[in-house]
Amino acid sequence: MGEVLTTELVVLAEGGRGLPQNDASLKDYAQSAIVCEVESEQPHLGLAYERFTPEGPIALLPLGNRYALVWTTPAAQVAERLAWSDADFLAGLYAAFGERQGRFVAASARAAFPLRMALRGAGETAGVVRIGNAAQLLHPVAGQGFNLGLRDAWQLAETILDTPTGGLDKADLLQRYVRARGADVSAGARVTDLLVEVFSNDLPLIAQARGLALTALDLFQPLKNGFARKMMHGARTW
């Protein structure tokens, strides 16, 4: 038999699974992310990588002794890649990512999910707040959806602390939270969408400009640190 809980505030952070398929703000990138764990010949030493290819980014994120892999794949190729054997998958990943970490020697079971952008917002009902992917679903390029989710949680905690006892279910809390997060979420969504367009194609002029920009970031440490700080901390640093 079910249990009924009563609370002043409900926070929805279910990862975007509740977003309607026909959401007006939804943008379909015609890509999916293939995710799994992989092991490389060389230890990762705690370093993460993101390789930009014409098909989209490939991210390797340290996870224990392995990497968590996010491989952006055109929608038309997802079924084929998921059907590859482990050996074919590892060989294909090596060909796409390159030899920086040596060959890939093991992979776990693979899964895929479609890549979309949907800006649903923090909510319309007093006492209910959406955060993270439940409020804004972004392409995983540069990890901005994750960063926005962390800043959502931080801002919501600050808003709750500033709310008098017994006021968590009032419309004022939601309004204050929405005002505090609006500019950051909007900027994060625009930057992410721009990065998808810039880094998911091989048009010659864009490819050359992209290469020069990445080289400049790599050569000038203050520029790299400033860019990373802005991507981590959001609109308040722009």
- Looking at the structure, do residues 69 and 150 belong to the same domain, yes or no? no
- Does residue 209 lie in a domain region? yes
pTM: 0.84
The mean pLDDT of 18-38, rounded to a whole number, is 82
Domain, as residue range, for 213: 10-18+120-237
- Does residue 5 lie in a domain region? no
- Looking at the structure, do residues 214 and 192 belong to the same domain, yes or no? yes
Taking only the tens place, the pLDDT of each residue in 75-122 is: 999 999 999 999 999 999 999 999 999 999 999 999 999 999 999 899
Per-residue model confidence (pLDDT) at position 176: 96
Instruction: Please say which residue of 115, 146, 161 terminates a domain.
Output: 115
The mean pLDDT of 153-181, rounded to a whole number, is 94
- Does residue 2 lie in a domain region? no
| CATH number, residue 36 | 3.30.9.10
Per-residue model confidence (pLDDT) at position 216: 66
Kindly indicate the confidence band of residue 195, based on its pLDDT and cuts at 50, 70 and 90: confident
The mean pLDDT of 17-38, rounded to a whole number, is 81
- The alpha carbon dihedral of 36, 37, 40, 45 has a sign of positive
* Residue type present at position 234: G
Distance from C-alpha of 5 to C-alpha of 168, rounded to nearest angstrom: 16
Q: Is residue 158 classed as helix, strand or coil in its secondary structure? A: helix
The mean pLDDT of 202-212, rounded to a whole number, is 66
- Looking at the structure, do residues 136 and 86 belong to the same domain, yes or no? no
Burial of 49 (0-12, 13-18, 19+ CB in 10 A): middle
- Looking at the structure, do residues 148 and 77 belong to the same domain, yes or no? no
